[in-house]
Every structure is written in structure tokens, then in C-alpha cells.
Amino acid sequence: MVSKIHTITFDCRDAYALSKFWEQVTGYTEDPDDPNEPEHEENYIGPVDGQSGLIFQNVPEEKTVKNRVHLDLVPDTTREEEVERLLGIGATFVADHRTEDGKGWIVLADPEGNEFCVVRSEAERAAAGS
């Protein structure tokens, strides 16, 4: 027996605003039968194929330490193009862990400070043979 992941939940101060940021990051959408609203304590976004989605829930405390769990994103453009796009919609740069051979990742944070990584795209990995 196994369990499958239903959703990944982010504790945050402004669930609505953070759901709107992550909609732009992932292309996920809210449930049309239960649209997200600023006054909701929880806001859901997910892919159209019914796979695992993201929930953003309001909590009273602020984030204070590094995430113990984070998302690794694979862009459909190049890693560098995606990093620039994400910085343009409100992400902040945290660290660069790229290696000389092109492997590695770039760490960014969402508007509430939750870290996430951007790795090479599938096309970049295929072109490098890894």
C-alpha cells in the first residue's frame, strides 16, 4: 500500500496573494466551482489534469527559518529565462548553485520568503546529455 500526495500546503500571512503569485509561476488555476477570494482562509490552485495542487492557508505567525520542504521547478524555457520571469513577478534571489558544467539550480523565494529551486529544463538536460 502507498499514499499519494493530494496537495502541498503553504502556511502564509496572505493566502490569496500568495495563490495569485503561484498561479503565475505554475499556470495552475483555482477551482471554478470554488473561486479564491481575499477573505478566504484557504486558497487552492491546481493543474487541469487533476494531479496534486497547492493550498495556501492563512496562519498568524510569519516565516522565520529556512523551509524544510521546497519545490523544484523545471521550466519549459531555459533555467535563466525562467529565473528572470520569476524575478519579474515578485520572486527574490536567494542563492546560485549552478556548476561549471551547467548542472545545479538557482534558489529563489516567493513573496513570503518560501524558498524554491529552478533547475535546468528538459531541453537543456537533453542538449547536455544528462
What ranges do the domains of the chain cover? 1-60, 63-130
68-87 pLDDT per residue, tens? 899 999 999 999 999 999 99
Closest CA to 6 of 73, 51, 45: 51
Residue whose cell numbers read 529565462: 81
19-54 pLDDT per residue, tens? 999 999 999 999 999 999 999 999 999 998 888 999
Other beta carbons within 10 Å of 11: 17
Return the CATH architecture of domain 1-60: Roll (3.10)
Residues with Cβ within 8 Å of residue 104, at least 6 apart in sequence: 96, 97, 98, 119
Topology alike, domains 1-60 and 63-130: yes
92-119 pLDDT per residue, tens? 999 999 999 989 999 999 999 999 999 9
Return the CATH architecture of domain 63-130: Roll (3.10)
- Rounded to two decimals, the pTM is 0.92
- Among the listed ranges 38-42, 62-66, 119-123, which one has the minimum average pLDDT value? 62-66
